[in-house]
């Protein structure tokens, strides 16, 4: 799959310029996910088949015209193949859209999905877009530590269970 290069929407460009006219930067607050694959265009105002919308959990500016955003999809909701992604501003405007006929990921209720995107906003003035997040630290390193700790606890539990099973088997031999 090629790199995710979202198309900046015309409404998104207008929202950025209106925000700049008020002396503020436009704020990306949500990631919308949908199942309709296609070639996106700048005149889109919404995803064709939005299935879930998640708040930006964490984000940062990594360049004058590039921001990094993360989010987590979990809990109950529709399960589907992600074929379209929209980046939503605080006023509900879709700033940018990405889509492809080939799926990006599968949304399942049994496994949380960590999303991470770097948005290059070269069509917009430098620092004209910021990220408004929930403040959650979703770095892969933080998640890796959590999963490593869970894996270690699971292995310890399995080891203790195996020891108990061998003891029971030994006791059964004594009583046989």
What pTM does this model have? 0.75
**What is the C-alpha separation between 167 and 162, in angstroms, rounded?**
9
- Assigned token pair, 38: 């296609």
Report pLDDT digits (tens) over 155-169: 777 778 778 777 878
Asked whether 88 and 31 are in contact (CB, 8 A), the reply is yes
Report pLDDT digits (tens) over 3-19: 577 999 999 999 998 88
**What is the C-alpha separation between 104 and 101, in angstroms, rounded?**
9
pLDDT higher at 21 or 135:
21
């Amino acid at each position: 799959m090629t790199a995710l290069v979202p198309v900046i929407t015309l409404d998104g460009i207008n929202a950025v310029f209106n925000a700049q006219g008020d002396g503020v930067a436009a704020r990306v607050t949500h990631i919308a996910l949908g199942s309709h694959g296609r070639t996106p265009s700048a005149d889109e105002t919404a995803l064709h088949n939005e299935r879930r919308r998640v708040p930006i959990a964490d984000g940062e500016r990594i360049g004058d015209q590039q921001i990094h955003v993360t989010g987590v999809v979990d809990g109950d909701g529709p399960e589907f193949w992600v074929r379209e992604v929209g980046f939503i501003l605080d006023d509900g405007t879709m700033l940018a859209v990405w889509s492809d006929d080939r799926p990006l990921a599968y949304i399942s209720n049994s496994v949380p999905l960590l999303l991470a995107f770097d948005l290059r906003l070269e069509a917009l003035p430098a620092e004209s877009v910021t990220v408004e997040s929930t403040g959650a630290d979703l770095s892969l390193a933080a998640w890796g530590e959590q999963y490593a700790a869970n894996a270690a606890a699971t292995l310890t539990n399995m080891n203790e269970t195996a020891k108990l099973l061998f003891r029971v088997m030994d006791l059964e031999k004594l009583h046989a």
